[in-house]
Structure 1
Amino acid sequence: MKKYTSIFGILLLIIFTGCKKTIDLGKDASFTIEKNIAYGKDADQKMDIYIPENQTKEQDIFVIVHGGGWRGGRRSQLTNFTFDLMKKFPENIFVNIDYRLASSTRFALPDQTDDIKNVMNYLEKNLKIHPKYILLGNSAGGNLSMLYAYKYDQDKKVKAVINIVGPADLNDPRFKNYDDYAFVEKHLIDPKIVDNSISLMDFGSPVYWINKDSAPTLSYYGTKDNVVPSSQKKILDSVLNKNKVYHESYEFDGNHLDWEKQSNSTFLINKIDSFLKNLDKK
């Protein structure tokens, strides 16, 4: 793989304008942290970047995408989980992002998938690298990660998707019990970007866009989730199987937020590790 030049090291010192510090997570997991980096003009377009201090070669970049029903949540909700991932993958760059939130006057799409692209463009321009990306998101962030990878990743930069309790099929009758489903129907997608031959809920459903070239995907769903039901796992698995896309899926015993419990998150991180190692062997 391509080696970093000395210019890369200099760039790390000068290109960012946020608050910088170093964090030592043990076991040679030491990172330089750049916080509150603006990757766009909107106040929501901010991110934290974690770069390994001992990095010697270009590695995959984890892009962490928070949940919150497309109109709430902040990247800080996933900071601790990001630290746990950094301990497991001490040679990778991590980027924990905020994105433009939806409201009754602003649609989630295309802004939020555009923001994933905006983050990638910023990193490649400023770090002078051309990495592969691992998109990891929970809930709405899982939906956005899958949707970006399956529909918008025309250059095939996404190596893998880690989908945690993400809505994969917005037409699922059980998902329609979601108490904010009316918002999803009316404010998730700008109708101007949707062809008349496609329904809005199909457009926003990652499963609609899966094909044989879609990114490998690991999914994690709760057996007692009353927000994103476990039926989503079965639907997603079925479509990935049909298209012969490499994937793994797992369940935890709990509700929508219980994936964050220590035992569940540790299980997930170990499965992510083995999943990515399997990909590297292919």
Structure 2
Amino acid sequence: MDLYFPPHYNSKTDVFLIIHGGGWRSGNKSQLTFFTLSLMQKFPNSIFVNMNYRLASVSQFGIPNQTNDIDSVLSHLEKTLKYKPRFILLGNSAGAHLSMIYAYKFNKNKRIKAVINIVGPTDLADAGFKGYFDYSFVEKHLIDTKVIPSGISTVQFASPVSWITRTSAPTLSYYGKNDQVIPVSQKKILDSVLNKNNIFHESFEFNGGHLDWDKEYNSTFLITKIDQFLKQADKK
């Protein structure tokens, strides 16, 4: 992981944890280095962590390895900083999925202040998502079936919306109107479940496809909305 510290910080300093995409089995933190630096300009007093995680393959499941890696990073930071910060999980695509499922399912210590979900899959059973080109990998290799309790399917377990409760973290979402990988239906499903549970959330759409969220205009809009969202979340 890459660590970025402001000149001064204290026990109230928030930590952004940045989690890259890549279909759970590819990608690298370097893909989000430029966006992380852009965020740092907007949030100069925050700590930033841009992390890698173990990639999934036909011989290595993504979950729980990847959620365990997030947990390990959070624990390491708490130990290093010598205080328990509030974490903002921000990811794109598969990284957004991991951010959400960690915050909603694995956040037992209530460490997460908010989730920033950029083009992330939220309901893996949605008919719109089943057109994903690597869907068979998601079904067979994303989740270790040993961690799935009886009575729940693999895709249900792997869907962030399955784990939203009335105490889930505030969530900001950003989706492309012409995304051929993660359809806008994923945004609508997530918004509906967050609404039902009275979770503070906002969602926005941008013109373009799956990779267009970080084009200059779109990313500038997103960073502004993140700033406004977090200020509102602080008041909740």
| Structure-1-length-normalised TM-score | 0.83
CA distance in 1, matches of 2:138, 2:127: 14
Q: How does 1:43-192 map to 2 (within 5 A)?
A: 47-56=1-10, 58-192=12-146
Which among 132, 151, 159 is matched to residue 197 of structure 1?
151
Q: What secondary structure is seen at the aligned counterpart in 2 of 1:120? A: helix
Higher relative contact order (CA 8 A, sep 6+): 2
User: What code does the residue aligned with 2:61 have?
Assistant: F
Corresponding position of 1:278: 232
- Displaced runs of 4+ in structure 1, greater than 2 A? 54-58
CA distance in 2, matches of 1:172, 1:72: 23
Greater C-alpha Rg: 1
> 1:155 Cα deviation (Å)?
1.3
Q: What secondary structure is seen at the aligned counterpart in 2 of 1:52? A: coil
> 1:57 Cα deviation (Å)?
5.2
User: Any unmatched runs of 5+ in structure 1?
Assistant: 1-46
What are the superposed Cα offsets for residues 154-204 of structure 1, whole Å, 9 maximum, x if unpaired?
Answer: 111100000000000000101000100010001000000001211000000
User: What code does the residue aligned with 1:259 have?
Assistant: W
CA distance in 2, matches of 1:270, 1:193: 38
CA distance in 1, matches of 2:226, 2:208: 19
The more displaced of 227-236 and 49-58 is: 49-58
RMSD: 0.8
User: What code does the residue aligned with 2:212 have?
Assistant: D
User: Any unmatched runs of 5+ in structure 2?
Assistant: none
CA distance in 1, matches of 2:206, 2:105: 28
CA distance in 2, matches of 1:281, 1:205: 29
CA distance in 2, matches of 1:93, 1:233: 28
Q: Looking at secondary structure, tell me which structure has more strand per residue.
A: 1
Q: How does 1:238-257 map to 2 (within 5 A)?
A: 238-257=192-211
Corresponding position of 1:8: none
Q: What secondary structure is seen at the aligned counterpart in 1 of 2:5? A: strand
> 1:55 Cα deviation (Å)?
3.0
User: What code does the residue aligned with 2:9 have?
Assistant: Q
CA distance in 2, matches of 1:172, 1:225: 15
> 1:56 Cα deviation (Å)?
5.0
CA distance in 2, matches of 1:59, 1:158: 13
> 1:54 Cα deviation (Å)?
3.1
